[in-house]
Structure 1
Amino acid sequence: MKLHLLDRASSKHSSFTVSKNRYPNFLKVWHQHPELELVVIRKSTGTRFIGDSIEKFQEGEVVLIGKNLPHMWLNDEEYFQENSDLVAEAIAVHFTQDFMGPGFIKVPEMQSISKLFNRAEQGVKFIDLHVRVIEQIEELSSLAPFEKAVRFIEILHCLSRHENYRLLSSSGFVNSFNSPENENLDKIYSYIFKNFNTPIHSKDVAKVAHMNPSAFSRFFKRIHRKTFTKYLNEIRIGYACKLLIERKNSISSVCYESGFNNISNFNRQFKSIAGMSPTEYIKHHS
């Protein structure tokens, strides 16, 4: 899964862009851009990839993504069927941290918004957000330029004060992705996300990164402060959680579909990472 740099820059006549997207399915591209992105999912379901976070997404969710944080919304399989009448609909606001000017984010009155932007570096999912805030985001595109700018600042202020949220990507992923070795890491992450549910080993990824296995292991552990195997297991368990929530497969099917080759190891890794057994996880989310 190659990482693409997309152009989300605002036009000369606007400091930020608001787009309403309605397609048979969302863009199936693992991508990044220097703008922050505020997304409201209006219709469709599937899997959300943000950094090293893999989770199921549903209608009504609101997510803020930081600059240059890789992401992708992948719709469920039925959205790609030839005769499907399903639609994927979302509102996306793209903006830079200084969209209101170079000193905007540094003034004392914007302190809470500045902290929000810092949290967005890992991706933020807002939980139980008041419906009026979502409506205000949806209304942005219909406002005149001045009212739109004022309303958007108000929306950011509301989001910055909202206490019920969850960070998505790990800080380890963000810190490593912003490191000087970015080119090698791009290849590594692309390969892992494309193949995590197949039998891959550190030597396979080392080959992609043009490193010998020992050097790759040292490099990966220095960047992530964990072994490649542990990192891969965390990705696989994240995907397994998504499958278990969907409840389309048995636990044994999920085990193999997420890349594990035996049930006992899957159960052991699941409990170590998720803090409960797969059966308990299903009950917790039923």
Structure 2
Amino acid sequence: MKPILESINVARDASLKIEAYSNDSYCESAGWHIHPEYEMVYVKNGSGVLRIGSKKRYYTNGVLVFLGGNIPHADFGNREHSDNLEIVIQFKKEFLDEKLKVFPELGRINSLIKKSKQVLIFDSEIQKKLWPDFKKFGDLDHQSKLINLLFILDQLSRETPHELLFETFSLDNFKKDEIKRLEEIFEYVNNHYSSTISLSEISTQLGLTPNSFCRFFKKMTQRTFIDFVNEFRINKAVELFNESNTLITEVMYQSGFNDPSYFSRQFKKYQGTTPSNYLKSKYGNLLLQDASL
């Protein structure tokens, strides 16, 4: 089965995306998917199966796995225990090439990240040892999350026991040109979401007609381009609301919407509530009033 290419939305003021999922706030299944970002997953406990590329590995009592970008995989977590927690850390290739690489002191960490292209499954002893450090991500700001991740990577780079799932991993079966084209689309949306996104412009940039572009995007992601753009913009709107108690219309324009009623419908579609109710739940009586959205 061909993997669906997933878009990872990293916050504007962060280099990483770090999410924590419990049995009460479980990650919605992405199915069999692929994305260019590196991914580290810590599953606290319970039994499950890792489906990565052509490999299948069962685990008991949790797992710590680190895989490079563009490696197809299914979801890793499980709901076997009520106190289970799954921490998912994702970052782009630029995090390694443009940020970490400038520090020669981080040589071991750079080597570890590069080795993740073979997929690393770490020993249960180091998994348990690092549990307090993974657990604390939920209480940290962006700067502290970065520092905490570097500490974890430092620990993992120090000859810790691990299994290499692949001797080498080839993308030949997954059409590198198609993956590269999807990456260009995601990057275009990330750079232009706050303004008008021209289907004609992005199609031309990729050497496609608008119709062939839409067919290609639907084939690779199982969703329409406009649906993807709207959800991306709503996620950015949520980021802006979470940063400060601001006017709804300001966030609407900053996230790329121009019609208040359309913005409200799309917000409710992807967040399950209206913008005003979202803000009320977050800021209560301190809510700034500007529209009944």
Shorter-chain TM band: 0.5 to 0.7
User: Are the equivalent residues in 2 in contact too, given 1:64–1:123 (CA < 8 A)?
Assistant: yes
Gaps of 5+ in 1: 184-286
Q: 1:36 aligns with which of 23, 35, 38?
A: 38
Structure 1 residue 9, shift from structure 2 partner: 2.9
Cα distance in 2 between the residues matched to 1:144 and 1:118: 27
Identity of aligned pairs, percent? 22
Describe the SS at the equivalent of 1:154. Answer: helix
Cα distance in 2 between the residues matched to 1:120 and 1:74: 16
Where does residue 56 of structure 1 map in the other structure? 58
Q: 1:114 aligns with which of 110, 116, 132?
A: 110
1:137 aligns with 2:137: no
Cα distance in 2 between the residues matched to 1:117 and 1:4: 24
Cα distance 1:58–1:21, how it changes in 2: closer, same or farther (>3 A)?
same
Cα distance in 2 between the residues matched to 1:28 and 1:178: 18
User: Are the equivalent residues in 1 in contact too, given 2:66–2:119 (CA < 8 A)?
Assistant: yes
Amino acid in structure 1 at the alignment position of 2:112: L
Cα distance in 2 between the residues matched to 1:143 and 1:22: 17
Where does residue 70 of structure 1 map in the other structure? 72
Gaps of 5+ in 2: 180-293
Cα distance in 1 between the residues matched to 2:177 and 2:85: 36
Give the number of aligned pairs: 176
Listed one character per residue, the Cα deviations across residues 214-252 of structure 1 (whole Å, up to 9, x for unaligned) are xxxxxxxxxxxxxxxxxxxxxxxxxxxxxxxxxxxxxxx
Structure 1 residue 176, shift from structure 2 partner: 3.3
State how 1:155-234 maps to structure 2 within 5 Å. Answer: 155-171=152-168, 173-174=169-170, 176-177=172-173, 180=176
Where does residue 95 of structure 2 map in the other structure? 99
Which has the higher relative contact order, 1 or 2, with Cα contacts under 8 A spaced 6 or more apart?
Answer: 1
Q: Which runs of 4+ in 1 moved over 3 A?
A: 23-26, 73-76, 84-89, 175-183
Cα distance 1:28–1:15, how it changes in 2: closer, same or farther (>3 A)?
closer
Where does residue 184 of structure 2 map in the other structure? none
Q: 2:151 aligns with which of 151, 154, 160?
A: 154
Cα distance 1:18–1:75, how it changes in 2: closer, same or farther (>3 A)?
closer
Where does residue 279 of structure 2 map in the other structure? none
Structure 1 residue 44, shift from structure 2 partner: 3.6
Cα distance in 1 between the residues matched to 2:56 and 2:64: 16
Where does residue 7 of structure 2 map in the other structure? 7
Cα distance in 2 between the residues matched to 1:180 and 1:142: 38
Cα distance 1:33–1:180, how it changes in 2: closer, same or farther (>3 A)?
closer
Cα distance 1:126–1:102, how it changes in 2: closer, same or farther (>3 A)?
same
Where does residue 220 of structure 1 map in the other structure? none
Structure 1 residue 111, shift from structure 2 partner: 1.2
Structure 1 residue 163, shift from structure 2 partner: 2.8
Cα distance in 2 between the residues matched to 1:8 and 1:34: 9
Cα distance in 2 between the residues matched to 1:3 and 1:15: 25
Structure 1 residue 106, shift from structure 2 partner: 4.5
Describe the SS at the equivalent of 2:74. Answer: strand
Listed one character per residue, the Cα deviations across residues 50-78 of structure 1 (whole Å, up to 9, x for unaligned) are 122211123331000111111113678xx
